[in-house]
Structure 1
């Protein structure tokens, strides 16, 4: 069979999710041929995942009929033929609805195929002196073989139609002993690690991912972000993403010497450790930001607005955002006025209403509430849809209100009177008090979040449901 020259570089989807067959341009003349077997820029532009290969392996096979597999490995592979021709067979051995899906194709030197982690790989040589070459994005080790998943080449469920029958092919004893499909343990998906899992947002993420065994949760006792050794005791190869829901949020205490150190430690130094880990292991980093990175001088803040933090807390959140943004695969979710399970403004106002207290509340700081159930759902949406990486503003939708207006809403829905809440300026409220400066406008532009296909729930509707849940007596 002669090699086809001068094909255009092209990608072809297959029935197995993530498995893509590529045509490679081969240039030849009377002397032989040349091809770009792997060209990162062109192939990433074509849609190949930027899987960052670290090792190149070659399998040389002297005789036609040599058959190897079916091996599902814990890394991604980019496979091609250096010389000769093969019949390739791939079986999805990953957990999920596509488990057991089969794809076969004949490959020569003008083709290549990308095989994601967990998809079983096998080939049979169709010519003597065939060399099968592959790039992988992890270093092979003897220990790694314990993470392989295998399927028997003769499995009746996969029903692969080998060009050379297996009883006439060259197989290893190990490959002959691999299990049938019914006895295969599917390869589990890579994990998502949620840090800060005991905070308001962390608890909402627990609820959002309830029952999903691919998501792992760690509070401070399980993963202390301020300790360097927290990052060294984990096999990051088994993870795909980190969601950082931990932060130092004591805005006023951050202005003290002790608070300043703690805020920089958790909001910046720890994020630097996370960013380094994400870069080294090609992970997606989801980092939660704050409206405090802005001074509040604009009516509405877009993702492109330059940082203008007023106090230490805002400065550390801005610095953390800058660090997280260097991770190639990052989502920075910028939010404000967070309400969830735990101490928060709505809970405080509901309890004051119940006790008959008539508070003074600032009326010149405006924004929208962000309920943690919706922040968690948006984070899940970004990861599940593989939305474009970058920074996204996210709050609940609806009318921009002041803290005093929201407090009045809480009082009214708690059975008290709106008039029990007295509006006061920020300057008067904090007069003679040690307090951090606050942005007067915290309203965030939500158009970029909506463009991902996520429709933020109305803040007033969420507030009513939150209060009806019995939070006022908590």
Structure 2
């Protein structure tokens, strides 16, 4: 072999996600050389960055050796190191493509990327054929996966060596036809912290998904204070983790809650990130404006963390862990209001039981209603927005806690003048005098929302969201 090698290329096939790769062969009188896997070049051409962790070689002595169809629970990148083979693939994933078949002759200059859920088979066309494949999960003899019969006429595969003369294992000959095949479901989404304000809102956002594609875990299902339990949890079949759990007792984090804050907000996130990295999952991690000191505003995504207290520091540490996952959405939010204890609920109680509250005027931001936060998270996932950091709150004018309290009173038909203004310093002094810890809070919490808007998401104005929230939570 000599002369100029054909260029590297990636081509689509009739099965979604099944890609063929044209590999340049560099040859001379000695033989040839090829780069079977080149991450940077191939990913740039459209091959998934699938993170192989194991390479396997199958030596096949005789022509007509036939293996498959198997749909293992991992992605594969395969090719022929020596000899020639006939490859065949069948889509066993749920959806309109189920049963679609592709065939192709494989030589040293061709490779194929096979996504999870697509069954793979091959038959050797030359003696001493060596079949090579990289996988992104470690092979296990206990792995369960669907398989179908090589000779099912529904598939229409014309094997070069008829199967009655081919070398086929008894197990492969006994595989069921396509009509009896188990359909491979899509990778599931797991929501952690399912009983919190955001977790409950995410339940609503995914209420229409009745196929088990989203699973909600509470603290009883998985205690995030136990990092070992996180790593040992059964994550099989999971493609996305949404970490909606957090230790949010901001003031207690300065005292007896410090250890729990770090366990949940930092150590647990590190363990979750380890799982997501190893299994190539997408991680959605929710953080807070408390990672900033409030001296800059509005806060942009590229602002360096500058936490004022233990809670903010624990959340900043969790952010660093989450950003170590290649496929991550780090969503910072502020002033969350949902189904649970929150500022709006407290003000409603004050309005209705005759209490006249004293509320801080010199801390500003925008509230984030949990339904809107859940909608934004689902938008990022469903739209395939670029991975990275996003700021998410409701839209509208920047307000103080005092302004928000008055708005709650007004919406409920109570006199907003019952709300008395105070300063953050005076508020802290009052509680410190009573012996209660008070964490320092950022004076400005408002976010720049332009990066989120660039993905096609327009946050609802907070004034409208407040009205809807009060009507729903009577």
Question: What does 1:60-459 align with in structure 2 at a 5 Å threshold?
Answer: 60-144=59-143, 147-210=144-207, 211-256=210-255, 258-434=256-432, 435-459=438-462
1:82-103: CA deviation from partner (whole Å, max 9, x where unpaired):
1222222111112333322222
Is the Cα–Cα contact under 8 Å of residues 3 and 108 in structure 1 kept in the other structure? no
Is the Cα–Cα contact under 8 Å of residues 2 and 27 in structure 2 kept in the other structure? no
Partner Cα distance (2:166, 2:3) in 1: 27
Mean Cα deviation higher: 247-256 or 82-91 = 82-91
Paired residue secondary structure (1:353): helix
What is the TM-score when the length of structure 2 is the normalising length? 0.93
Partner Cα distance (1:444, 1:424) in 2: 24
Q: CA deviation at 1:6?
A: 0.8
Is the Cα–Cα contact under 8 Å of residues 87 and 124 in structure 1 kept in the other structure? yes
Q: CA deviation at 1:168?
A: 4.3
Q: CA deviation at 1:230?
A: 1.2
Is the Cα–Cα contact under 8 Å of residues 21 and 112 in structure 2 kept in the other structure? yes
Q: CA deviation at 1:214?
A: 2.3
Q: Find the counterpart in structure 1 of residue 468 from structure 2.
A: 465
Q: CA deviation at 1:109?
A: 0.9
Q: CA deviation at 1:119?
A: 0.8
Partner Cα distance (1:446, 1:329) in 2: 21
Q: Find the counterpart in structure 2 of residue 25 from structure 1.
A: 24
1:312-370: CA deviation from partner (whole Å, max 9, x where unpaired):
21121112212222222222110000011111111222222222333222222111111
Paired residue secondary structure (2:340): coil
Partner Cα distance (1:199, 1:173) in 2: 52
Partner Cα distance (1:232, 1:402) in 2: 41
1:433-453: CA deviation from partner (whole Å, max 9, x where unpaired):
232111111101111112223
Q: CA deviation at 1:23?
A: 0.7
- Output the aligned Cα RMSD: 2.1
Pair 1:429–1:123, CA change in 2 (3 A): same
Q: CA deviation at 1:3?
A: 11
Unaligned segments of structure 2, at least 5 residues: 433-437
Q: CA deviation at 1:36?
A: 0.7
Paired residue secondary structure (1:56): strand
Unaligned segments of structure 1, at least 5 residues: none
Pair 1:440–1:107, CA change in 2 (3 A): same
Q: CA deviation at 1:223?
A: 0.6
Is the Cα–Cα contact under 8 Å of residues 231 and 275 in structure 2 kept in the other structure? no
Q: CA deviation at 1:209?
A: 2.4
Partner Cα distance (1:16, 1:396) in 2: 41
